[in-house]
Amino acid sequence: MTAYIIRRILWGLLLLVLVVAVTFLVFYLLPAANPAILRAGRNANPQIIATITKELGLDRPIYTQFWIYVKNIVLHLNFGFSYYYNVPVGSLLLNRLPATISLTVGAAVLWIVIGIPIGIVSAIKRRTWLDRMAMGTALVFVSAPVFWLGLIALLLAAQTIGVFHVFPGIGSYVGLTVNPLKWLESLLLPWMVLSATQCAIYARLVRGSLLQVMGEDYIRTARAKGLTERRVVLKHGMRSAVGPLVTVLGLDIAALLGGAILTESVFDIPGIGRLQLDAIGHSDIPIIQGTVLVASIFIIIANILVDIAYAYLDPRVRFE
């Protein structure tokens, strides 16, 4: 197991190098927005641009640029320097990470706590009005894009523009360490919006997974033992049904930690996603590379964690 994890981490590192290389190549091959020109400002002349190009190292061959970039990250944890904000990318990422983590973790808790029980009830009460209603609602939320849902939610319930003045509106995010109460207040609406779709997906996933498991022979055995139906479902059924859930959960959380671009944009939450979107607008390549790298790291870590969770949940899974 330990050997397996070490090997997975090494593969993960190699994968990160590849991701960085590919992002590098993409921006090298698509010189639509020359960062030197952008940085030179309005009164640019070729001389200034040439100077900036030299300053940023853009005149060197791509492999040299790549080598310097990777070396800085590995040796100095230096992710480069933002063209636009004029600050180290590393500190920008660190600044923005708490908001993204707050948004993701809160929403994940919400969709797990709500989505899974709905899925279980739907599976047990299959083909009843309860199941149909739950799955109908789920279909609506699965189909509703987050940015649309977010705007509707704001128009309905934001203190600024809403019909009912319940929740703080756009741009109200406050850090947890600054003011915990305001932090909670400002995130309630984004959490609900972000978790609505996920709730629906998880409810459907749990329902499907549980329905399949409930047809297994060992469920019949559990019933033949005289267990209550509640115990049959929650212990014997769910134990098997959580497998697929863990996979999806790991990757969903990782993907959101890499930047919940839509939700962060609609509610103007200063997270990684917002940073990334702005950087794309500014052709701020070091930031884009930094955020891609962070997202990749999350995905790779999540993959390894999911595999470990799998081995823990299912004794038949063994690593060689």
Helix (H) or strand (E) holding 198: helix 180-214
When asked if residue 131 is in the footprint of another protein (CB under 8 A), the reply is no
Query: Residue 233: CA atoms inside 13 Å, Cβ hemisphere, count?
Result: 16
Q: Residue 221, interface with another protein (CB under 8 A)? A: yes
Question: 26-52 burial, b if ≥16 CB within 10 A, otherwise e?
Answer: ebeeeeeeebbebbbeeeeeeeebeeb
Given the rule CB under 8 A, which of 33-41, 43-51, 89-97, 213-221 is the region that contacts another protein?
213-221
> Residue from 164, 230, 315, 320 that binds another protein (CB under 8 A)?
315
CB-nearer residue toward another protein: 227 or 280: 227
Q: How far is the CB of 304 from another protein (least distance, A)?
A: 21
CB-hemisphere CA count at 13 Å for 138?
Answer: 23
- Give yes or no for residue 44 binding another protein (CB under 8 A): no
* Interface pick for another protein out of 39, 236, 274, 282 (rule CB under 8 A): 236
Distances, alpha carbon 92 to alpha carbons 12, 187, 258, 307, 315, in Å: 24, 21, 14, 31, 42
Does residue 125 touch another protein according to CB under 8 A?
no
CA distance 48 to 195: 48
Residue 7 vs 225, nearer CB to another protein: 225
| Selection from 303, 300, 125 nearest residue 214 by Cα | 125
Q: Please identify, among the stretches 12-20, 86-94, 233-241, 295-303, the one whose residues bind another protein according to the rule CB under 8 A.
A: 233-241
**Contacts (CB under 8 A) with another protein, residues 240-269:** 240
Cα(288)–Cα(279) distance, integer angstroms: 6
User: Please, which residue, 23 or 122, has the CB nearer to another protein?
Assistant: 122
CA distances from 252 to 146, 170, 264 (A): 15, 24, 16
Least distance (Å) between residue 158 CB and another protein: 46
Report the first-to-last Cα separation within the chain, whole angstroms: 8
Q: Please tell me whether residue 225 binds another protein under the rule CB under 8 A.
A: yes
What is the closest distance, in whole angstroms, from the C-beta atom of residue 133 to another protein in the complex?
Answer: 21
Residues that bind another protein (CB under 8 A): 216-218, 220-229, 236, 239-240, 313-316
